[in-house]
Amino acid sequence: MIDAHTQIYGVIGNPVKHSLSPIIHNGIFQRLGLNAVYLAFEVNDLRKAIDGLRGLGLLGLSVTIPFKTEVISFLEELDELAGKIQAVNTLVNERGKIVGFNTDWIGAVQALKGKINLAGKRVFLLGAGGAARAIGFGLKKESAEIFIFNRSQEKGEKLAKELGAVYLPEFPSLKDIFPELIINATSVGMAPLVHQSPLPADLLQEGMIVMDIVYHPWHTKLLREAKLRGCQTIDGLEMLARQAAAQTEIWIGHKPDIALIKEDLQKALTQPSLPSPDYWRIRNDRDQTTT
């Protein structure tokens, strides 16, 4: 029951009505029997939102687009890897001192570690946006050997340089690099353009591990083709669930059950009203105009 002791957490972003974070975190709080709620705040003025976090004494917030980088300038303390990624998705209010973390890389690395020891493994990373940066720095931390391709070459080259990775200027023949792991960190395949895949199916070889960050739908064309070709697959819900679980650990020191978070997410994504189709359309339109 909500009462005078209820703790408020939430996500700040814009747009934010599509966010699955309230479903994830309220599910976690309920299973733990915590007197806490998690809300979505559509923010226009980030400075005022951070003042609100301090002023109201909230204990923690998630941060999503478009504020993950901008928010860094409002923090008292920044986690080292979040600083390298230049993106923060988690805020903790330590008695008025706001500390920023990035749990996207943790979600990705934990999802991968369930299937593969990353040290020395050859990884083909597709994309150079926010998600690819977080995953790339996670892979580097785990000493993987990274090969990057991105639609916009300049952005891809910049990320490759930061990661000490190899940039592949043309869409590669994967026979040349023999990756053990392929990660799609682009938005290709996201609803409503579910018939798209970021790479031709004939590049997928039996035994490879293929991870997709796209979670709407979670059975993407890439993952369906990978399974047909004998690859092991990791879906986008895995990373989404694990980055949220890492937030719970930061906020309240508890490791929630990943399988139960994924169940909640699958239920939410199969309800036609959640998330709003408008959001996915806006995202796909935006991604297509970034060429």
The site that binds ligand ATR (CB under 6 A) totals a number of residues, namely: 16
Cβ closest to ligand ATR, residue 103 vs residue 186 = 186
The residue count for the chain: 291
Q: Say how far apart CA 6 and CA 109 lie, in whole Å.
A: 33
Structure tokens that stand for 55 in this block: 């002023």
Among 78, 92, 131, 182, binds ligand ATR (CB under 6 A): 131
- Residue type (1 letter), 84: K
Instruction: Tell me if 93 contacts ligand ATR by CB under 6 A.
Output: no
Q: Does 132 bind ligand ATR (CB under 6 A)?
A: yes
- Cα–Cα distance for residue pair 180/34, rounded to 1 Å: 42
187 is a contact residue toward ligand ATR (CB under 6 A)? yes
Report d(CA 279, CA 19) in Å as an integer. 9
Q: How far is the CB of 206 from ligand ATR (least distance, A)?
A: 26
CA-based max dimension of the chain = 62
Q: What is the C-alpha radius of gyration for the chain, rounded to an integer number of angstroms?
A: 19
Instruction: Check residue 13 for interaction with ligand ATR (CB under 6 A).
Output: no
For residue 274, what are the contacts with CB-CB under 8 A and spacing of at least 6?
Answer: 20, 23, 268
Segment near ligand ATR (CB under 6 A), from 12-20, 105-113, 130-138, 258-266? 130-138
Taking CB under 6 A as the criterion, the residue among 129, 138, 189, 236 binding ligand ATR is 129
- Evaluate whether 64 touches 40 at the Cβ level (below 8 Å): no
Site for ligand ATR in 135-164 (CB under 6 A): 150-152, 155
Sequence-ordered strand ranges (E) for 107-179: 122-126, 145-149, 166-167
Taking CB under 6 A as the criterion, the residue among 10, 127, 136, 189 binding ligand ATR is 127
The sign of the dihedral angle between the CA atoms of 113, 257, 190, 102 is negative
Of positions 157, 162, 249, 287, contacts ligand ATR by CB under 6 A: 287
Is the CB of 266 or the CB of 288 nearer to ligand ATR?
Answer: 288
Say which of 48, 68, 84, 113 is annotated catalytic. Answer: 68
- Closest approach of Cβ 214 to ligand ATR, in Å? 9
Q: Toward ligand ATR, which CB reaches closer, 26 or 69?
A: 69
Cα–Cα distance, 185 to 194 (Å, whole number): 15
Q: Does 199 bind ligand ATR (CB under 6 A)?
A: no
- CB 236 → ligand ATR: shortest distance, Å? 10
Strand bridging mode 60-63 / 7-13: parallel
Residue 188 touching ligand ATR (CB under 6 A): yes
Q: Catalytic annotation on 121?
A: no
Q: Which stretch binds ligand ATR (CB under 6 A): 17-25, 48-56, 91-99, 183-191?
A: 183-191
Please, which residue, 188 or 208, has the CB nearer to ligand ATR? 188
Beta strand ranges found along 131-282 (DSSP E) = 145-149, 166-167, 181-184, 209-212, 232-234
Quote the CA–CA distance of 93 and 135 in Å, as a whole number. 25
Catalytic residues: 68
Residue numbers of the site for ligand ATR (CB under 6 A)?
Answer: 127-132, 150-152, 155, 186-188, 287-288, 290
